[in-house]
Amino acid sequence: MPAALRPRCGAVLTVIVCATGAASCRDAVVDQTPDALTAAVTGPIRWDAKSAMKQIARTKGCDSYTPTWAPDDNLYTAVGDCRYQGAPQKIGMGFGRISGTTAFGVAFTPVLTGDPLNWDDAANGAGVEALGDGPLSEKASGMLHADGRLWYWIRNIYPGGTGARLKFSSDVSATNPQFTWVDWTLPEVGYASFVQFGKGYAGGPADYVYSVIPLRSSAVGSVSNSAYDLVPAFGLIRGARSDLTLQSSWEYFCGMPAAPAWCPAASSATKIIYKVGKRFTPRGGMSWNPGLKKFMLSLVFDTTPNDPKDSARFTGGLMVFLGNNPWGPWQQVFASAGAWPGGLSTTICGSTKWGSGERADIPTKYMSVDGKTF
């Protein structure tokens, strides 16, 4: 997991206006004066050497991280498909805290949820642990701490690794947090990844939270219900902070960057980004960078599309984009030529190839004040 990235950027000043079709000016996140519209981020991102990258101790083999910054200053995250230190066996989904004042010095602490003696109570209990490999287990797709609760998108709700459902906890900082399901599912959505802001959602919009979702094509309504099928495009959903537990609070982006609009049905969903000829893992990561006054969208793509046996986690490339809004438009500031970072992984993983994994995130906790180092 890279811990420090350095984009070379010029002055960053942006403006947002409410265009025709916008549901509400409360959607606007950036608030800047309009006298510097010509200023732009020049990019590109310059990465630390691979030798400087750190793997979090006690998490060998783990994936499916979903970090979010909570008011207690910890990052809370899921982990999956591993036997981390303290687990009695390999688990499909677990939960824990990432702590540390600097990205190079973080530590992971497992946290047992629900019934501490039941390692498979996500589906039918008050916990978020689950057993099973791949689509046979419930897995995390997105996590967000906002309004005193930790909100947790869980995927693989239906057979074959499809569908998503929301679970939440009001005592996540406790020794043994308890979680509650909402009483609805999103069968048409295979992966929903919350857009991250500051500590406890600081700096986020007053009215809404957002999640990135995969689309099977650029066509309207082409939402993908799979967490595993590669896709060329992504969309967006938003939830009203007044009550995220209600399905009626959630809407699909159905406009365009210059004219954002929101609709209740997946059949009306439109793309926020589409790349011809690219096949991305359906697991987008988006974070608000307050120093740059930009959203950062990170996507993992398949570098070997002619090899159906290969996995993007081991040979995948990485793209990073900047945008004024969570719905774009997007400026590409990094795209690897092949697998990123490539070669062999850290010695702790032996001879494992090192690609971009299945999902990339840029945690907001470790962004510098000016946003140029993260």
Per-residue pLDDT of the chain (374 residues; tens, 9 = 90+): 333 333 333 222 222 222 223 333 345 444 333 323 224 566 789 998 888 887 787 787 888 899 999 999 999 999 999 988 888 999 999 999 999 998 888 999 999 999 999 999 999 999 999 999 889 899 999 999 999 999 999 999 998 899 999 999 999 999 999 999 999 999 999 999 999 999 999 999 999 999 999 999 999 999 999 999 999 999 999 999 999 999 999 999 999 999 999 999 999 999 999 999 999 999 999 999 999 999 999 999 999 877 766 677 888 999 999 999 999 999 999 999 999 999 888 777 777 888 898 899 899 999 999 999 99
Q: Are 14 and 294 in contact (CB under 8 A)?
A: yes
Q: Which CATH architecture has domain 5-366?
A: 5 Propeller (2.115)
Q: What is the pTM of this model?
A: 0.89
What are the E-state strand segments in the chain? Answer: 5-7, 45-47, 68-69, 75-79, 94-99, 107-110, 139-146, 149-158, 162-169, 180-181, 193-194, 208-215, 233-240, 250-253, 262-263, 273-274, 285-289, 294-301, 317-323, 330-335
Sign of CA dihedral 300, 143, 364, 275: positive
